[in-house]
Amino acid sequence: MKLDAYLKAQQKRVDRALDRHLPEPKTHPAVIHEAMRYAVLNGGKRFRPILAIACAEALGGRVRDALPIACALELIHSYSLVHDDLPSMDNDAFRRGKPAVHKKYGEAFAVLTGDALLTHAFHILAQGANAKILPYILSELTHAVGSKGMIGGQAMDKQISLAKQFDLAEISYVNIHKTGQLIRMSCVAGAISAGAGKKWEREIALYGECLGFSYQIVDDIMDGDGFAKIMSRHEAREEARLLIEKAKRSVKPLGARAGILTQLADFVLNRKE
Amino acid sequence: MKLDAYLKAQQKRVDRALDRHLPEPKTHPAVIHEAMRYAVLNGGKRFRPILAIACAEALGGRVRDALPIACALELIHSYSLVHDDLPSMDNDAFRRGKPAVHKKYGEAFAVLTGDALLTHAFHILAQGANAKILPYILSELTHAVGSKGMIGGQAMDKQISLAKQFDLAEISYVNIHKTGQLIRMSCVAGAISAGAGKKWEREIALYGECLGFSYQIVDDIMDGDGFAKIMSRHEAREEARLLIEKAKRSVKPLGARAGILTQLADFVLNRKE
């Protein structure tokens, strides 16, 4: 299957599921529910949920088992962006060409909207994930996006920007944690939902880890930031390429089933936005 | 048992468990883990965890089953205070006589610390709650503290403070949701951990609902705020008293086992801080 068509079809599917899983905009108090939908239903690429679904399918799982988990992952991604855009954090006024949540609804409601999206992610998981896998997937997910994972990466990113300098170890920590952990976890979540077993969970975790790290390096190259500041663009690009090769090798034993995963890995390296 | 001694003993037990459940302060990146501990280990009364434990015990449950859940509830309470104190929210510089998290660590790290505490609450739940009750308790908890619960109450509270006016329906909504929902859920969580069954869950939910609502009314009377602004202190006090009577009636069938719950209800009405 052509990757473009696959991405479009999955994006539509995820968008429909997100719309279903989010409370109606008029739910009381309306401001918070409107803001939640504004933050999520914004034409995002849905890369993390698509990764979860693709990994689940590659390992023989069913989309309907992966879909609620995929939605939870996207809500966590959305909450992290809402809080990241806040004036005290990155102070970004725009997100995907539209006013950031704090610009549209004010800072207090942006804090609360992020909190609500994070909480709702776990609500979806509680209701949608198979009860047998819930303790394990919840434990892994909260670790991946907690203070030793995604939030740890955001904290280090802030420390770096306050210190106005960083070294390779620090910027690697940010890339692996701030961006990488949720991407890695999206792949692992797909594998867990498919009941793939420990061996394949580990392979898929490696695939996701390489994808997540190179995703941020490519971002850095595009923005002339982070990694691209402490090595040449050529070196950074080479680093990203090696990671993508490693990712592809880790799923090679899946044979024909690795098709989409291989294409997704190349997509991360070659994307232009 | 005298309530004072009970409260002190349980507070110690909860403090020890919180200390165990929180990551070490030097865990990388240290700033976030220090701030998490600063926000939680601050001499708090641990009223919500104690309620959960007391309800569990009154219904024949074991403390060791209720304790991880009780810690998760306290972490959620702590995160809500960290975010509530932010300049864009209530803008409180002090909490329990010490600088608020955003005053001590800066606003960005306060946002992240709140996020980390909320996430870690669910991590503790994933690892500590009985797998059989996890889907149910996670679903109930995320509803109680989400956009239709605690966060909804915080949003309405902010709307009221921006509009500089409110009516009885609005301030009741704030009290029931912002403060009441987590207190109610603490009781329900105790009941669920004890495997009390639907009938007792409902009675304990009523008990917790009455406690939570009157807790906030008593706060309002002490602060001359909210409820105490739209009715006389005497009327507000009478409202709180009726709620506490109702709470006590709902646990009366437990006989001698209701002892602590009855005393906790009186404690809510008569507390001076």
Instruction: Identify the DSSP state of A178.
Output: I
- Mean pLDDT, residues B186-194: 98
Gap between the Cα atoms of B238 and B258, Å rounded: 23
Q: Which of B33, B152, B156 sits opposite A147 (nearest CB)?
A: B33
Per-residue CA distances from B236 to B7, B160, B213, B226, B227 (Å): 26, 19, 11, 10, 7
- Please report the beta strands in chain B, taking only residues with DSSP state E, as ranges in sequence order: 94-95, 98-99
pTM: 0.98
Note the residue count of chain B.
Answer: 273
CB contact under 8 A, A111 and B112: no
Gap between the Cα atoms of A23 and A12, Å rounded: 19
Instruction: Centre a 10 Å sphere on the Cβ of residue B64 and count the other Cβ atoms it contains.
Output: 11
CB contact under 8 A, A135 and B126: yes
Q: Which of B89, B129, B151 sits opposite A32 (nearest CB)?
A: B151
- Mean pLDDT, residues A90-98: 96
CB contact under 8 A, B108 and A158: yes
A95 forms beta bridges with: A98
pLDDT recorded at residue B226: 87
A249-262 pLDDT, tens digit per residue, is: 999 999 999 999 99
CB contact under 8 A, A120 and B142: yes
Gap between the Cα atoms of A271 and A260, Å rounded: 16
Q: Which of A115, A134, A159 sits opposite B83 (nearest CB)?
A: A115
CB contact under 8 A, B115 and A83: yes
Structural domain boundaries, residue B32: 3-270
- Mean pLDDT, residues B65-86: 98
Q: Which residues make Cβ contacts (< 8 Å) with residue B239, sequence separation at least 6?
A: B214, B217, B227, B231
Within 8 A of B142 by CB-CB distance, chain A residues are 119-120, 122-123, 126
CATH code of the domain containing A142: 1.10.600.10
CB contact under 8 A, B142 and A134: no
Q: Could you tell me what percent of chain B has a pLDDT over 90?
A: 95
Q: For residue B121, which amino acid is it?
A: A
* A271 alpha carbon, distance to own chain's centre: 16
* Element at A99 (helix H, strand E): strand A98-99
Phi, psi of B102 (to 5 degrees): -70, -25
Most B-contacting residue of A89, A112, A143, A147 (CB-CB within 10 A), to test interface: A147
A194-239 pLDDT, tens digit per residue, is: 999 999 999 999 999 999 999 999 999 999 988 888 999 999 999 9
Gap between the Cα atoms of B7 and B21, Å rounded: 21
Within 8 A of A27 by CB-CB distance, chain B residues are 147-148
Nearest residue on chain A to B127, judged by CA atoms? A139
Q: For residue B225, which amino acid is it?
A: D
| Cα pseudo-dihedral A191, A149, B43, B221, rounded to 10 | -80
Report residue B82's pLDDT band, with 50, 70 and 90 as the boundaries.
very high
pLDDT recorded at residue B1: 64
Within 8 A of A83 by CB-CB distance, chain B residues are 111-112, 115
Asked if pLDDT for residue A1 goes beyond 80, the answer is no
Q: Which of B29, B88, B159 sits opposite A29 (nearest CB)?
A: B159
Instruction: Centre a 10 Å sphere on the Cβ of residue B257 and count the other Cβ atoms it contains.
Output: 13
The first and second tokens of residue A158, run together, are 């802030």
Per-residue CA distances from A230 to A153, A176, A219, B50, B152 (Å): 18, 16, 14, 52, 45
Residue B42, CB-side half-sphere exposure with 13 Å CA sphere: 23
Number of domains in chain A: 1
- Mean pLDDT, residues A9-22: 98
Gap between the Cα atoms of B186 and B177, Å rounded: 13
Instruction: Quickly list H helices, chain A.
Output: 3-21, 30-40, 47-58, 63-84, 101-105, 107-128, 134-144, 150-163, 168-174, 181-193, 198-223, 227-230, 233-251, 259-270
Nearest residue on chain A to B28, judged by CA atoms? A148
Instruction: Quickly list H helices, B59-106.
Output: 63-84, 101-105
A/B interface, count of CB pairs below 8 Å: 157
Asked if pLDDT for residue B148 goes beyond 80, the answer is yes
| Least Cα separation, residue A267 to chain B (angstroms) | 31
pLDDT recorded at residue B170: 93
Q: Which of A23, A145, A156 sits opposite B119 (nearest CB)?
A: A145
CB contact under 8 A, A29 and B155: yes
Phi, psi of A98 (to 5 degrees): -120, 155
Asked if pLDDT for residue B215 goes beyond 70, the answer is yes
pLDDT recorded at residue A273: 78
Asked if pLDDT for residue B40 goes beyond 80, the answer is yes
Within 8 A of B159 by CB-CB distance, chain A residues are 29, 31
A168-187 pLDDT, tens digit per residue, is: 999 999 999 999 999 999 99
- Mean pLDDT, residues A29-38: 98
Of the candidates B139, B141, B181, B138, the one whose C-alpha atom is nearest the C-alpha of residue B157 is B181
Q: Could you tell me what percent of chain B has a pLDDT over 70?
A: 100
A58-87 pLDDT, tens digit per residue, is: 999 999 999 999 999 999 999 999 999 999
Given a contact cutoff of 8 angstroms between Cβ atoms, the answer to whether A104 and A42 are in contact is no
CB contact under 8 A, B116 and A28: no
CB contact under 8 A, B125 and A108: no
Dihedral (CA of A90, B88, A78, B68) sign: positive
CB contact under 8 A, A116 and B83: no
Instruction: Indicate the average pLDDT of chain A.
Output: 96
